[in-house]
Amino acid sequence: MKRVLRIFLFVAILSILSSIDLFAKPVEIEENYVPDDAITAMIASNPQIIDDKLKAAMLKELEDPGSITIDISHISPSDTALGKFNKIYVYAYRSKIENVVIESAKIEFINVCLNTKRLIEEEKIRPVNKCTINVDIIVKENDLNTFLTNKSKKIKVDNPKVRFDKNNIELSGSTKYGFVKVEFWGKGNFEVKDEKEIWFHASKLKVNRVSMPRNFVGTIIKKINPLMNFEKFSFNVNIKQIKITDGQLRITSYED
């Protein structure tokens, strides 16, 4: 029975939280960062290189997008050469990250200063200040189920399926428990705490259609919460809501 519960939790984390983690990577903050003079001169003579390198950097994070748009709000030519911007806005449609299809991803870097040397030479986005990063990410239920189907053999779960319905997540599948195949089904939701932590709450869990005691489920869930803690990151991710509607999951910094 414990093995079944572990698989349930693994499926939940794999299916949902992997998509969050893709956009919540830690960034090195360099308190004593000094722009490279040669790089600054290069950008000053050819400001378009910033646009080109930002796009190349994002394409390493968001693979094979159907389309990608990057808009930059500049402060001044001298600030651009130093990697300082009012805002960098990124929009990607139907991109992939680690084989998970993201329907759409909007990312805003506000009042950001970038390490221009790493951007130009390594095509990596590395803020050197504690800027605000807003996100608005949508993952479709069908795409998540395709991902799970492709992963079913690896996680040793047959017919894994996730369903988004009225602010709830339903997870189901079957697996072997000893020599017996059992079916499991779970239902729960997510909560954002203090704009820093994401918690998963399982309200129901059944194995072979038999409900598990709430206190037993709570003991297991407590061990993995918080599932993500953005406080440890060097930038302010600013997530306000995780919304589950019919057919899609939305992770956003914007309140309705």
- Residue 111 has a pLDDT of 94
Distances (CA, A) of 212 to 107, 217, 218: 40, 7, 10
Nearest to 135, CA basis, from 86, 91, 103, 99: 91
Residues with Cβ within 8 Å of residue 42, at least 6 apart in sequence? 49, 120
186 in Cβ contact with 172 (< 8 Å): yes
**CA–CA separation, 179 vs 24, rounded Å?**
40
pTM score of the predicted model: 0.74
Mean pLDDT by 10 residues, the chain (256 residues): 42 40 47 91 97 92 92 97 96 86 91 95 90 87 85 75 80 73 76 68 72 54 52 59 83 80
Token representation of residue 32: 């004593």
